[in-house]
Amino acid sequence: MIDGDDKMDGTQQFTQVEVPAILKYPDSILLETAQEITNIDDRIRRYFLQMKAAMDRYNGIGLAAPQIGISLQLITVRRDEWIYEFINPVISWTQGLASDYEGCLSLPCEI
């Protein structure tokens, strides 16, 4: 559980957020197109808290909402000490090539 909920006005509302389980492929939610977000409200803010809690619990560096059973276009990404939250993300431009190892909490395997 996590116990802090940052409010939009900069104060903090203390709540208890359950750490959700990570869904594994081929769960049906992972196979469908996630819904676009049209309204940012407390429900969306709580989903982000749950996603961050799951990333912490399972040592992830990124997580999409469908991975915790929420079929919405939300992702979180950890880079250095920051966690970024994206709503309705779109990859619109890329440049160059990169090569690296990649993992996925929903596709567990042993290396």
Give one DSSP letter per residue of 73-98, joined into a string.
SEEEEEETTEEEEEES-------S--
Q: What is the pLDDT of residue 13?
A: 55
Q: What is the pLDDT of residue 75?
A: 98
Task: Look at residue 54 and tell me whether its pLDDT is greater than 90.
Answer: yes
Task: Look at residue 1 and tell me whether its pLDDT is greater than 50.
Answer: no
Burial of 28 (0-12, 13-18, 19+ CB in 10 A): exposed
Q: Could you report the per-residue pLDDT of 17-39, keeping only the tens digit for each?
A: 889 999 999 999 999 999 999 99
Residue 24, token pair as written in the block: 């594994």
Superfamily of domain 17-87: Peptide deformylase (3.90.45.10)
What is the pTM for the complete model shown? 0.80
Whole-angstrom distance, CA of residue 70 vs CA of residue 20: 10
